[in-house]
Structure 1
Amino acid sequence: MVSRFFCPEPLPESGEIPLPEPVSHHALRVLRLPDDAPLVLFDGTGREVAARLVVRGKRAFAELGAWSEPVRESPLELVLVQALASADKMDWVMQKAVELGASRIVPVRAARSVLRLSGERAAKRVAHWRQVAVAACEQCGRNRVPEIGDIVDLAVHLSAGRDAVEFVILDPHAGEPLTSLGAPQRARHLLIGPEGGFDELELAACRAAGARALRMGPRVLRTETAGLAVLASMQALWGDL
Structure 2
Amino acid sequence: MPRFHCPVPLRAGSQIELPATAARHVQVLRLQPGDALTLFDGSGGQWSATVARMGRAEVLVDIGQHQAIEREAARAVHLVVGMPANERMDWLVEKATELGAASIQPVAAARSVIKLSGERAARRQGHWQAIAVAACEQCGRNRIPTVHAPLPLADWLRQQAAQAGADSTAPGARLVLSLQAGSQPLLHAAAGAAAVWVLHGPEGGLAPQEEQTALAHGFAPASLGARVLRAETAALAAVSVLTLATL
The TM-score range, normalised by the shorter chain, is over 0.9
Within 5 Å, give how 1:1-241 maps onto structure 2: 2-28=1-27, 30-58=28-56, 59-162=58-161, 163=164, 164=170, 165-175=172-182, 176-238=184-246
How many residues align structurally? 237
Q: Distance in 2 between matches of 1:107 and 1:213?
A: 19
CA shift in 2, pair 1:57/1:71, >3 Å: closer
Q: Any conservation in 1 of the 2:80–2:199 contact (CA below 8 Å)? A: yes
Q: Distance in 2 between matches of 1:201 and 1:88?
A: 28
The residue identity in structure 2 corresponding to 1:214 is A
Q: Give % identity.
A: 41
Q: Any conservation in 2 of the 1:174–1:214 contact (CA below 8 Å)? A: no
Residue aligned with 1:238, SS: coil
Q: Could you tell me how far 1:186 is from its partner in structure 2?
A: 4.8
State the TM-score, normalized to the length of structure 2: 0.90
Q: Could you tell me how far 1:48 is from its partner in structure 2?
A: 0.6
Q: Any conservation in 2 of the 1:108–1:152 contact (CA below 8 Å)? A: yes
CA shift in 2, pair 1:155/1:186, >3 Å: farther
Q: Any conservation in 1 of the 2:81–2:200 contact (CA below 8 Å)? A: yes
Residue aligned with 1:12, SS: coil
Residue aligned with 2:87, SS: helix
State the TM-score, normalized to the length of structure 1: 0.92
The residue identity in structure 2 corresponding to 1:52 is T
Q: Distance in 1 between matches of 2:190 and 2:209?
A: 28
CA RMSD, aligned part only? 1.6
Q: Distance in 2 between matches of 1:74 and 1:88?
A: 26
Q: Distance in 2 between matches of 1:9 and 1:174?
A: 50
